[in-house]
Amino acid sequence: MADKKNMESPSRLARMTGILYFLVILTGVSSAILVQNFLVPGDIAATVNRIMAHESIFRLGFVISLTRYAILILLVLALYKLLRSVDKDLALVMVAFALVGISIGMVSLLFQFAAPLMLNSSGYSTLFTADQWLAQVQFFIDMQVWGDRASQILSVWLLPLGYLMYKSGFFPRILGVLMAIAGLGYLADFLIFFLLASLNLQVAALAFLGELPFPFWLLIKGVNVEQWKSRALEAA
């Protein structure tokens, strides 16, 4: 009975990791849809009107985004537990990069939340002209976008994740390759945004496609239990 329990343990861990991965995706897509519906490119007055008319929904987008980062922390720790037997030092590097990136993203969300705070404060609106007030709201919204993009440089945590998956023996190597490509895609998006803004090009959506097969695999196939146990015994 004990052997059966040990045999099922990595499978349960893989399924739990897959569930966390899908929750990260779900909350990320939901918050992006909610927030993007408020932003009118090049027209801050229209953006402000939308936020003030549906502030509760805008705040909901903030809460969902914050929840996503909390779940992402759990996901990274679950991935560490799943893959540390492959290379513990590299797994720790993966965790370090991921947690720093998450921290930057969470701080940048405060700028998003600052926009409705300013809109509801009569003290701010009386200190500045209408144009100055709108410009400051635009600044905070832009800072959230810039902070989120800045955190993308820490998406290099997907590179050690991809390598660990590739070397593990209990995941198909192609999943590790796709994950590493996703990490390079997010890094490219960061470099384009900050160094080659005139290109007006985003590759994050394509990079995301490299990540997507992994949570499906975790939920449907899990891990090769015998290979996982063999790695765990070698690392012990």
pLDDT digits 0-9 by tens, 100-139: 999 999 999 888 888 777 776 666 666 667 777 778 888 8
pLDDT digits 0-9 by tens, 151-192: 888 899 999 999 999 999 999 999 999 999 999 999 999 999
Sketch the domain layout of the chain as residue ranges: 2-144+212-235
Label each residue of the chain as H, E or C: CHHHHHHHHHHHHHHHHHHHHHHHHHHHHHHHHHHHCCCCCCCHHHHHHHHHHCHHHHHHHHHHHHHHHHHHHHHHHHHHHHHCCCCHHHHHHHHHHHHHHHHHHHHHHHHHHHHHHHHCCHHHHHHCCHHHHHHHHHHHHHHHHHHHHHHHHHHHHHHHHHHHHHHHCCCCHHHHHHHHHHHHHHHHHHHHHHHCHHHCCCCHHHHHHHHCHHHHHHHHCCCCHHHHHHHHHHHC
pLDDT digits 0-9 by tens, 193-219: 889 878 878 787 788 889 999 999 999
